[in-house]
Amino acid sequence: MAVGDRYAVLVSEQCTPDEAEAERLVGAPMRAVFERGVASGLIRQDLPADVLLELFAGTIMAAIKLTQRKQLGLEEASAAAAAMFLDGARQR
């Protein structure tokens, strides 16, 4: 969240990132976190890691937009995004 403005600008300007580099730096490590969470039973197992990653990214982007519009501060947006995602991703 602290560096979210940098990424929000890229999204709003519809810049095309180097997909291989984005996957190496962000996608693969985050997917591995979700895969470990699913394997350990801490994260729900009815959704694949790729789906969880996509939903997580959407939650983060929404939180960044809320901070840009000054609807939430950085810490509030971070806490809200984490709570919304983790409560929904938690194993039932």
Six token digits for residue 11: 């999204």
Six token digits for residue 61: 């982007």
Span 57-84, pLDDT tens digits? 899 989 988 988 999 998 899 999 999 9
Task: For residue 34, count CB atoms less than 10 angstroms from its CB and return exposed for 0-12, middle for 13-18, buried for 19 or more.
Answer: buried
Statement: residue 11 has pLDDT above 60: no
Q: Across-strand partners of 43?
A: 90
Question: For the chain, what is the mean pLDDT?
Answer: 85
Q: Are 57 and 48 in contact (CB under 8 A)?
A: no
Three-state DSSP class for residue 92: coil
For the chain, the structural domain boundaries read 4-89
Instruction: Give the C-alpha separation, 52 to 13, whole Å.
Output: 25
